[in-house]
Amino acid sequence: MEQEVSQWDAFDEADRQALMEEIAAAGGEGFTPDTAEKASWLTSRLAYHQAEAERIKTAMQAELKRHQQAADYLLQRYSSALEAFARQAIDAEGGKRQKHVLPNGVSLAFRRIPDSLIVHDEAAVLAWAADALPEAIKQTLAKAPVTAHWKDTGELPPGCVPVRDRVGFYIKS
CB atoms inside a 10 Å sphere around CB 44: 20
Is residue 135 within 8 A of residue 146, CB to CB? The reply is no
What is the predicted pLDDT for the residue at 15?
Answer: 72
Query: 22 Cβ partners below 8 Å, 6+ apart?
Result: 30, 31
In angstroms, rounded to a whole number, what is the distance separating the alpha carbons of residues 157 and 160?
6
Residue 48 to residues 7, 44, 126: CA-CA distances in angstroms?
A: 8, 6, 50
The SS3 call for residue 27 is coil
- Is the overall model pTM greater than 0.85, yes or no? no
Q: What percent of the chain has pLDDT over 70?
A: 84
What is the predicted pLDDT for the residue at 5?
Answer: 44
Residue 56 to residues 6, 11, 51, 53: CA-CA distances in angstroms?
A: 22, 25, 9, 5
What is the predicted pLDDT for the residue at 125?
Answer: 92
- The 10s digit of each residue's pLDDT in 33-71 is 888 988 888 888 888 888 989 999 999 999 999 999 999
What are the domain boundaries of the chain? Answer: 8-153
pLDDT at 162 over 70: yes
Query: 101 Cβ partners below 8 Å, 6+ apart?
Result: 107, 108
Q: What percent of the chain has pLDDT over 90?
A: 45
Is residue 130 within 8 A of residue 119, CB to CB? The reply is no
Q: Which of 30-34, 54-58, 153-157 is predicted with the least confidence, judged by mean pLDDT?
A: 30-34
Q: Which residue has the higher pLDDT, 2 or 77?
A: 77
- The 10s digit of each residue's pLDDT in 136-151 is 998 888 999 999 999 9
Q: Cβ-count burial of 41 within 10 angstroms (0-12 exposed, 13-18 middle, 19+ buried)?
A: buried
pLDDT at 2 over 50: no
pLDDT at 170 over 80: no
